[in-house]
Amino acid sequence: MSASEAVIHEVLLLQIEAPDGNVNLCGGGFIDFDAGNGLERFDAEHPVYGVIVELDAFERAIKGQAESSSLALAPNPEAPLSAWYREDLAFARVRSWIGRIEADGKTVLAADLLGDALVDYPARSIAEDGAQTLELALISRDQLLFFVNEGNVCSERFLKSVWPCEDGFNNCTDVQIPVPWGVAAPPQSGGAQSGGGGFSGGVINRDVIER
């Protein structure tokens, strides 16, 4: 490449339409980009959701299933758990682009859309050093339109619709979770306890739903 040739710098842009406002992240520094609602600032780090750890490419659909992907974020360690590990992230729109940085070094006017997805379900993992990761399973937004509603099925999403924050499915995998089964609840004194997935006296109690 000669000294007179222009150097093209590209950056990853990510937007999560979270329930409490857009989460705009980029691969480094800060970028001004119009994702469709006017110019917005995209930063390398968000005060709650932290930084991008990994964004998998969408897998090609197999046997008519919707294309899927995943997004991993390292939340801000000082942010409360309830601020980023939340069930209402399900079906939040997630878009990603590769943008070309303009000569000013901070503006992207042209960008190629990498993916337009919805959050299938959120999950949390904890490393040996205690670092937490928010893992978002993504499903292609356009492919979701062709899904057939088959009712309640055995899935992570349906399990958590009955018992919010229940990590039973994750307990069957290598995901490290602080509560392997049931929902952590403060200890209660006196008598035998029962409930929909809480801890009581070190014993997990769960009501049976008759169908």
- Read off the pLDDT of each residue in 196-202 and give the average, rounded to a whole number: 39
Confidence of residue 147 (pLDDT cuts 50, 70, 90): low
pLDDT in tens, 6-29: 566 899 999 999 999 999 999 989
- Per residue in 149-192, pLDDT (tens digit) is 555 556 666 666 677 666 666 666 555 555 544 555 555 544 44
**Cα 59 to Cα 67: distance, rounded to the nearest angstrom:** 6
Residue 25, pLDDT score: 96
Domain positions in the chain are: 1-147, 148-211
Q: Is 91 left (phi over 0), alpha (psi -120 to 50) or beta?
A: left
Radius of gyration of the CA atoms of the chain, in A:
21
pLDDT digits (tens, 9 = 90+) for 15-72: 999 999 999 999 989 999 999 889 999 999 999 999 999 988 654 444 445 567 899 9
A 10 A CB-CB count for 14 gives 23
In angstroms, the Cα distances linking 79 to 26, 44, 93, 123 are: 20, 16, 22, 17
- What angle is formed at CA 42 by the lines to CA 116 and CA 74, rounded to 5 degrees? 80
Token couple for 142: 């356009």
Inter-residue contact 157 to 144 (CB < 8 Å): no
Which of 23, 35, 108, 29 has the alpha carbon at shortest distance from 71?
A: 23
